[in-house]
Amino acid sequence: MSLTAGALIGFLTLCTPPQNDASFDPALKKFQEDFYRRGAKDDDRIAAVRTLAQYRHERIVKALAPLLTESTLAVRVMTARELGLFGGVDAAPRELLAALRSPANAGKKEAAVRIEILRGLGSLKYQAAAGDVAKLVEDKEVWVAKAAIDAAGRIRTPDAMTPLIKSLQRIEGRNGDAETSLNPYDELFPEFPTASGLLKPDARQTAKKPSEREVLKAPILLALQNISRQTFESAKEWDTWWAKRKANFRLAE
């Protein structure tokens, strides 16, 4: 016996948990108690965020989203990191993008928050963030730029092609020799409690401070290749190819 379209829709509705599913109430209650407990420190609050973030649901996003702009920098970073894992939960990338656009995360000391938000948006391949990501590809904070470059490649936004090529041109010259921090949080976020082990250094990095070219060139080329499906190496080659095609460019599958 086959189901009619109406019956099938009704069946799927019954199988889909409602947005206000009461089964999350105990977890939300514990989160409120642990996060707002008197004397709770950042490590305690981050642990509460991580515990709640095990439940990938719209209600959980709603509870965590205010922390992206209203909590301490450490909690904002780790909340963004957790929400970046919420694949299939539409509210998560929407809230990450709203936090990226918020004046609360616009300053120099909030650069670490922007880095983690961009990583999350890239991981979730959130197309609505394409324009915002493209604008940050040339950010003066190298690690913010790298996060935007990585996100642009994952989202595959043609809007990023021109800034990516310009960035490649810049680091091919003397500007690429400038040293940058070994860890994106070292200078941008010096007060982060790294002793807790919540953030680990990038295992791919060496002890010597890398140049901007060393940090950015490979990610730029990978992003360009992911968007265009081409394999050029130099900014000149990319610029020549893009100039002829950008007016009518369409993403290949």
User: What's the pLDDT score for residue 136?
Assistant: 97
Contact between 209 and 181 (Cβ < 8 Å): yes
Cross-strand bridge partners of residue 23? none
Per the listing, tokens 């105990």 go with 26
CA 250 – CA 210 distance, rounded (Å)? 35
Grade residue 66 by pLDDT with cuts at 50, 70 and 90: very high
Whether residue 6 has pLDDT greater than 60: no
Q: What is the pLDDT of residue 203?
A: 53
What does the pLDDT read at residue 179? 87
In a domain, residue 9? The reply is no
What's the distance, CA 26 to chain centroid? 29
Interior/surface letters 180-209, b for 16+ CB within 10 angstroms, e for the rest: bbbbbbebbbeebebeeebbeeeeeeeeee
Question: Does some domain include residue 6?
Answer: no
Token pair listed for 185: 């949080």
In a domain, 10, yes or no: no
- CATH number reported for the structural domain that contains residue 128 in this entry: 1.25.10.10
- Does a structural domain hold residue 229? yes
Please write the tens of the pLDDT for every residue from 148-180: 999 999 999 999 999 999 999 999 999 898 988
The structural domain count of the chain equals 1
pLDDT in tens, 209-251: 899 999 999 999 999 999 999 999 999 999 999 999 999 999 9
Return the higher-pLDDT residue of 229 and 182: 229
Per-residue confidence (pLDDT) for residue 20, from 0 to 100: 58
At 21, is the pLDDT very low, low, confident or very high (cuts 50, 70, 90)? confident
For residue 110, give its domain range.
25-248
Q: 211 - beta bridge partners? A: 179
pTM of the predicted structure, to 2 decimals: 0.84
Does some domain include residue 253? no
| Six-digit token string for 194 | 């790294």
Question: Is a pLDDT exceeding 60 seen at residue 14?
Answer: no
Q: What pLDDT was estimated at residue 186?
A: 61
| The pLDDT value given to residue 60 | 96
State the pLDDT confidence band at 195, using cuts at 50, 70 and 90.
very low
Q: Please give the DSSP secondary-structure letter assigned to residue 228.
A: H
Q: Which of 11, 44, 64, 70 is nearest to 193 (CA)?
A: 44
Structural domain includes residue 3 = no
**Mean pLDDT, the chain, whole residue set:** 87
- The per-residue pLDDT for 150 is 97
Confidence of residue 3 (pLDDT cuts 50, 70, 90): very low
- Cβ(79)–Cβ(64) below 8 Å: yes
Per-residue pLDDT of 81-95, as tens digits, reads 999 999 999 999 999
pLDDT digits (tens, 9 = 90+) for 199-210: 555 554 456 789
Residues 6+ apart with CB under 8 A from 219: 146, 149, 150, 153
Q: Is 91 contained in some domain?
A: yes
Q: Residue 48: its pLDDT value, please?
A: 97
- Whether 240 maps to a domain, the answer reads yes
pLDDT tens profile 128-145: 999 999 999 999 999 999
